[in-house]
Structure 1
């Protein structure tokens, strides 16, 4: 591939990454306005859940199909589906319609990020890839920071519908550049798609995610709904494993997990998802509910984390090349653990500087770790498994985040129920004057209500929320420690020692053809 073609493909992939990253943060800012226009506040969470379910389940499926039929057609299909869902979401006339269209958006989004990372692995050799992965982490971090502010500007000055329509120019330009610049040569042969495996994986994961998303909120954890969904999830996953053992071309080859690097990177991705989703969900809650900040303050406090992540990811490429996967992952895990220990000591009097330092440490740790995981997995497999291997790292990250946040939400809800009730009972007169349309749990998150509370009452509630969040942060710290321990099982030494043997011939297409592997031209 020529240098000019690589530049064009890189720009196309960066636009695609921007597309995915913006959508994760920009919609949340617009949701209050959307509910105001469409109604259906009881369906609020499903706007996010529908997208999350479909985008998570399809990640490994797209990864496998990209290995069978090439990255380019799958990326273009996913982008087209994402844009179709975006256009439909922007035109939605009811909350029910919006949920359906968000699910379609998710079906497309499941292709974008993993295939972007896979194409990077294809067109750049290890030394180049280590630097480029940092660049793409920077795009993700910057887009995540811009997303909430951009969403606010769009809602204030245009219409909430443009939150979805803004995806269109990014997606169209990305697709056109990729069509022009990326030339793939894929070995053409008849494939046997693993339809039973695809169905069983989808059913098992949807049941699992649905159980965690709704358990403890729509119904109790011990209810028949939760038990039934968990039983369905276990049955689906067990049958999926049995199917994969006998499938001619399994959708998720179990042989991948005979490689120690892939197993440890998957565990690391799972932990990374728990911490990333947990921090971005519950540190803003601390800033707004305990520290009394605005919604803007709550969003901005993640700025140090989202800036430190891409910087450390860019540096991690050099560290991986010089010191290897284990050193880089351990460095990232240690920084994350130190940051999480600081978070564990958050209380109503915690200074802003203390919070920001903890965010920088966690962001730096996650940046070093995430790059090391992706590089180690891509370097350990041949071209015809790189798509599904890369997708698996994204899959485990999202699963970890979804399950982790659901468990943290249940912990916090239980803590608040236990701690808030005695306070409201003690301040009965003040509690009786609270607006009836504001739930007790949301008193601290509604500035007008919060500012009307007597100081003693307010401080009691803030202390109770802080104590409840302690148990959430404790779970995050334990997860970070588990991740740190797991990294000792990564092999030591230089990264190039563990490269798949075809890695050295990536830039010799004729040799790859002779070995019956598809190659990039």
Structure 2
């Protein structure tokens, strides 16, 4: 590697040795993020044209369920065949999904295409961590994860607007097809740069059963999401089946001791789930609360989400410039700021105050995520051995998806209760804030465990004890 060092004497993620890898990774993240942010804008037009309004929720659920499978497959591929092959697989499958979605003439094919995108997107998310673990030395990883977090900001700001303009004045199909050449550019940049990254010396043995456990966990997540949209006896049955499927699948996918936040890697994976669940649960509820309680327009109600994204990006950059601060300190500070931002957001439910405090409170919550998310990423790579980095990164991403889905499901139940006249919306907001703030506080208390050295390897535990 070249020694292109800045004036400070420290290496950079954009020095000669890393600039192509960094540029390619950031382009891929940006375009995947754009698709994630833009699809919700294009979806109403797409399902109407495809005569599939009754299937409206399925494209979202299909992506989410399939992404869990993609995370496991991507992690296995990275551990057995190296990050280059894993990234090629993820980008290739994701691109096929974009192409099929863009040309779909029937809603069933469109839903299938979204599932294919989910597999590719899950594999890409895991591959990023595998590449980061091999291509970047530990001192550069905080800066890399800060840059990756920042790469989500532009899509968050302009994604829905651009997708709306394309859908209105051209066609919704370009929201999918238009990304294909751009993703190709990102892949062309990153592949030559990671050509030398090989297979781990201790390649992991194949575990095909993990894919079935991933499918089971993904179906459990989908069932819980569906149950959260209903409020009847069927919802109870679906939720019970979803919980059983999710718990059974996660036992085989997450590190042993994740639920108990056992010191070391299990606590890192658990912290990721708590961060994602607490933040995205309220992120889904806040625009609705501002619209229904204070009469805000959709555009005005979305401003706090933009403030949160900007706070996230700002803190991500700041944490990358403080290499001397222990990661667990950063993580705990992130949880504390997230808890403060969540608790302060309860003000939107107070009559007569107005919704404007959410513009500030959600920026504070974003600052917390900007400190916390890169920190757990760094801790993951620090504590994951090279030959298991793909599987551990998959568990990391699965915890994120699971935490988000469960908390959004709780919010969905509260909203369904308000729609049925069982609960006032202001009360639902306060209950949601209380639950999500408690999760953030719990994370702040458990954060030191994420930095504790893992215990000496013991005999393999039976599958029934995993993730408990």
Q: What interval of TM-score do these two structures reach, taking the shorter chain for normalisation?
A: 0.7 to 0.9
Partner of 1:217: 229
Q: Deviations over 1:398-444 (max 9, x none)?
A: 11001111121012211332358xxxxxxxxxxxxxxxxxxxxxxxx
2:435 counterpart (452, 463, 475): 475
Partner of 2:206: 193
Q: Deviations over 1:477-501 (max 9, x none)?
A: 1221221221143447xxxxx699x
Partner of 1:81: 93
1:37 counterpart (49, 64, 67): 49
Residues 176/295 of structure 1: CA separation in 2 closer, same or farther (3 Å cut):
same
Cα deviation, residue 107, structure 1: 1.0
2:343 counterpart (331, 334, 341): 341
Q: Which runs of 5+ in 1 are unaligned?
A: 242-251, 421-463, 493-497, 501-521
TM-score under structure 1 length normalisation: 0.78
Q: Verify: 1:54 aligned to 2:66, yes or no.
A: yes
Partner of 2:331: 329
Cα contact 2:69–2:218 (8 A) shared by 1: yes
Partner of 1:308: 311
Cα deviation, residue 262, structure 1: 1.5
Cα deviation, residue 162, structure 1: 0.7
Q: Distance in 2 between matches of 1:229 and 1:381?
A: 30
Q: Distance in 1 between matches of 2:174 and 2:242?
A: 36
Q: SS of 2:233's equivalent? A: coil
Q: SS of 1:316's equivalent? A: helix
Q: Distance in 2 between matches of 1:285 and 1:255?
A: 36
Q: Distance in 1 between matches of 2:318 and 2:365?
A: 15
Q: Distance in 1 between matches of 2:258 and 2:348?
A: 41
Q: Verify: 1:392 aligned to 2:395, yes or no.
A: yes
Q: SS of 2:172's equivalent? A: coil
Cα contact 1:142–1:307 (8 A) shared by 2: no
Cα contact 1:142–1:306 (8 A) shared by 2: no
Q: Verify: 1:271 aligned to 2:274, yes or no.
A: yes
Partner of 2:294: 291
Cα RMSD between the aligned structures? 2.6
Q: Distance in 1 between matches of 2:27 and 2:21?
A: 10
| Larger relative helix fraction | 1
Q: Verify: 1:122 aligned to 2:134, yes or no.
A: yes
Q: SS of 2:352's equivalent? A: coil
2:420 counterpart (417, 420, 436): 417
Q: Distance in 2 between matches of 1:185 and 1:67?
A: 10
1:96 counterpart (94, 104, 108): 108
Q: Distance in 2 between matches of 1:181 and 1:76?
A: 13
Cα deviation, residue 44, structure 1: 0.5
Cα contact 2:274–2:440 (8 A) shared by 1: yes
- Give the number of aligned pairs: 439
Cα contact 1:47–1:98 (8 A) shared by 2: yes
Q: Distance in 2 between matches of 1:127 and 1:190?
A: 25
Q: Distance in 1 between matches of 2:354 and 2:402?
A: 33
Cα contact 1:275–1:476 (8 A) shared by 2: yes
Q: SS of 1:418's equivalent? A: coil
Q: SS of 2:18's equivalent? A: helix
Q: SS of 2:105's equivalent? A: coil
Q: Which moved more, 1:364-373 or 1:5-14?
A: 5-14
Cα contact 1:20–1:109 (8 A) shared by 2: yes
Q: Deviations over 1:25-46 (max 9, x none)?
A: 1000112222332222111011
Q: Distance in 2 between matches of 1:299 and 1:216?
A: 23
Q: Distance in 2 between matches of 1:112 and 1:78?
A: 5
Q: Distance in 1 between matches of 2:382 and 2:125?
A: 18
Q: Distance in 2 between matches of 1:325 and 1:197?
A: 31
Q: Verify: 1:154 aligned to 2:181, yes or no.
A: no
Cα deviation, residue 235, structure 1: 4.5
Q: SS of 1:301's equivalent? A: helix
1:15 counterpart (27, 31, 44): 27
Greater C-alpha Rg? 1
Q: SS of 1:323's equivalent? A: coil
Q: Which runs of 5+ in 2 are unaligned?
A: 3-14, 456-468
Cα contact 1:56–1:399 (8 A) shared by 2: no
Q: Deviations over 1:140-196 (max 9, x none)?
A: 222222211111121122111111112202211122122322222325898641112
Q: Distance in 1 between matches of 2:245 and 2:164?
A: 40
Cα contact 2:81–2:199 (8 A) shared by 1: yes
Q: SS of 1:302's equivalent? A: helix
Q: Distance in 2 between matches of 1:41 and 1:276?
A: 29
Partner of 2:463: none
Residues 163/406 of structure 1: CA separation in 2 closer, same or farther (3 Å cut):
same
Residues 371/192 of structure 1: CA separation in 2 closer, same or farther (3 Å cut):
closer
